[in-house]
Structure 1
Amino acid sequence: MSKLKIAVQKSGRLHDDSMKILKDVGISIDNGKDQLKASAKNFPLEAFYLRNGDIPQYLKDGVVDAAIIGENVLIEKGNGITIMEKLGFSSCKVSVAVPKSVHYNSIQDLEGKRIATSYPNTVNQFLEKHKVNANLHIINGSVEIAPNIGLADAIVDIVSSGSTLFKNGLKEAEVLLKSQAVLAVSPLISEENQLILNKLQFRLQSVLKGRRNKYVLLNAPNDKLDAIINILPGMNSPTILPLAKEGWSSLHSVINKNEFWDIIDELKLNGAEGILVCPIENMVV
């Protein structure tokens, strides 16, 4: 039986988040210490643990069928590779950073400056778009040190919390792009493995929808139901069940987590009581 070959970053936050979502979609992978390849026990899938920067070439060559990879790496190295699904975790930015002492107004301030980066393609495209000429120093590794040793006037690198910039006396000056983990597919994937990948994508979508929403149960007097229903839409409409207490009902619905607290406040103002909120593991619609 054919197996879907999927690449995952070998270590780090993206690796941990990738393995968690695979576990959440019901795929059990027993990867022993330092293994570079492991098979799932209950799904036709093999995981390959690779350096993030090497994954785009493996996709292009068809060595792996798919990958969970940072969107920023695909933008830099993955020309021609299709993104099937944005996964909503391992978010970061690719940003320009300059020494804290430098007064930065706009991207035009980089004219004629030296920029250290491990993202030359991304930086060149950005500079060309803004008609700025600068000299790039390509560095693989600790880019943040470049201004401190006189190698560059600015850097372009990944920024997550900003703590690394702060420790190196730098400040974020410009955001080139925002990135998150994505599910990417090889242009050489077979039809058989594409069907397996489609099944994996369906599971991922169900988990992601669950993560974006919360299940809400509440009690309300019947004379307040219309007002509460207008506040609390579900996938189609809330479920309403009569309570043993005369004149009261229980409402069940789904709320987007980004709107959660505003909606809860409004529900309370309109007579809702006993509000119970539950996480959703999977949401199939």
Structure 2
Amino acid sequence: MSPVNGGATRDRLRIAIQKSGRLSEPARALLASCGLSWRESRDKLFCYGETLPVDLLLVRDDDIPGLLADGVCDYGIVGRNVLDEVGADRALRGLPQVSKAVRGLGFGGCRLDIAIPESTEWTGPAQLQGSRIATSYPGLLQQWLDGQGVQATIVNLSGSVEIAPRLGQADFICDLVSSGATLTANQLKPAVTLMTSEAVLAGPITPFADVRGELASLLLRRLDGVLRLRDSRLVMFQARRDGVDALLKLLPDAEAPTLLQVDGSDRVALQVLCHGEMTWPRLEALKQAGAAGVMVLPVERMLA
């Protein structure tokens, strides 16, 4: 049973997001694109929903999994790495776990890597045996080490993990990597990836039994629509009718097209919704296959 549903009945939905940091603004923008707007409190810790009864709690990212588990909030937008790390920590301390359903949101992508000095050759996990590994993710690192049958000393640091080998605090590090520029600046290189991460919407598996159930369904429908259309474009062009099948094979990410006969000719006008990036090479391939007057239009909203 989901701990989120065990609290008092409420008539408003609460979503916890990062107060500041790399996920804060993208999370707000995503929710705003779902038609939500808020009135922010003076202390900037709470946003009262105005267009819908959906409020925001502005908190530290590593507090979000606990707020979900304890029923303080109904949903949370948080990095998958934070969700799993706090979950591992709560399990070690015997605290309630988040009974969660997770939706990837397509931003905040990164990976949790073990990195080693650039001058060191990586030979495999056994190389970590008896070493010191600095990290801000001790729970995830310990789980991975246990799975590899490796014993190592975990040096728990809250920041500046990448400098630990240069200071003599550790032999290796385990840290989040996005571009890899920070590793390079500290003469380190990635050796093995423990997990890939992105921002996710975490919430209960069991539907809410009160009015929040309808609110949650509405929000998730809008969210799915926004995410589906993020890279979608409406493509329009004309072509000979006998060339339509060949053109559609160049658009495998397209939905069923709309075809209109062009008056006085054997040509048709096609309108098709594509869910992949429409690059110049794709457009040029369409033209070479017989498409004419190709137009690519943005899609702001869609209701199926």
TM-based fold match above 0.5? yes
* CA separation of 1:187 and 1:217: change in aligned 2, threshold 3 A: closer
Deviation at 1:234, TM superposition (A): 7.2
Determine if the alignment matches structure 1 residue 128 to structure 2 residue 146. yes
Query: How far does the alpha carbon of each residue in 1:73-100 deviate from its partner, in whole angstroms, 9 at most, with x for none?
Result: 1111134331342111111111111222
Structure 1 counterpart of 2:200, from 178, 182, 186 = 182
* CA separation of 1:151 and 1:197: change in aligned 2, threshold 3 A: same
Task: Give the 3-state SS of the residue equivalent to 2:119 in structure 1.
Answer: coil
Identical amino acids, percent of aligned pairs = 37
Determine if the alignment matches structure 1 residue 213 to structure 2 residue 222. no
How many pairs were matched up?
285
Equivalent position of 2:90 in the other structure: none
The one-letter amino acid of 2:31's match is L
Equivalent position of 2:7 in the other structure: none
Aligned mates of 1:228, 1:250 — CA distance in 2: 12
Equivalent position of 2:122 in the other structure: 104
Aligned mates of 1:233, 1:173 — CA distance in 2: 36
Q: Which runs of 5+ in 1 are unaligned?
A: none
Aligned partners of 2:14 and 2:54 also within 8 Å = yes
Equivalent position of 1:196 in the other structure: 215
TM-score normalized by the length of structure 1: 0.91
Query: How far does the alpha carbon of each residue in 1:134-156 deviate from its partner, in whole angstroms, 9 at most, with x for none?
Result: 11011112211211100001111
Aligned mates of 2:224, 2:234 — CA distance in 1: 17
Determine if the alignment matches structure 1 residue 59 to structure 2 residue 59. no
Query: How far does the alpha carbon of each residue in 1:60-82 deviate from its partner, in whole angstroms, 9 at most, with x for none?
Result: 11111110111111111134331
CA RMSD of aligned residues (A): 2.3
Deviation at 1:189, TM superposition (A): 8.0
* CA separation of 1:260 and 1:254: change in aligned 2, threshold 3 A: farther
Aligned mates of 2:109, 2:198 — CA distance in 1: 4
Aligned partners of 2:17 and 2:27 also within 8 Å = yes
Aligned mates of 2:243, 2:206 — CA distance in 1: 58
Equivalent position of 2:131 in the other structure: 113
* CA separation of 1:235 and 1:96: change in aligned 2, threshold 3 A: same
TM-score normalized by the length of structure 2: 0.86
Equivalent position of 1:2 in the other structure: 11
Determine if the alignment matches structure 1 residue 237 to structure 2 residue 256. yes
Aligned partners of 1:62 and 1:189 also within 8 Å = no
Aligned partners of 2:101 and 2:204 also within 8 Å = no
Task: Give the 3-state SS of the residue equivalent to 1:133 in structure 2.
Answer: coil
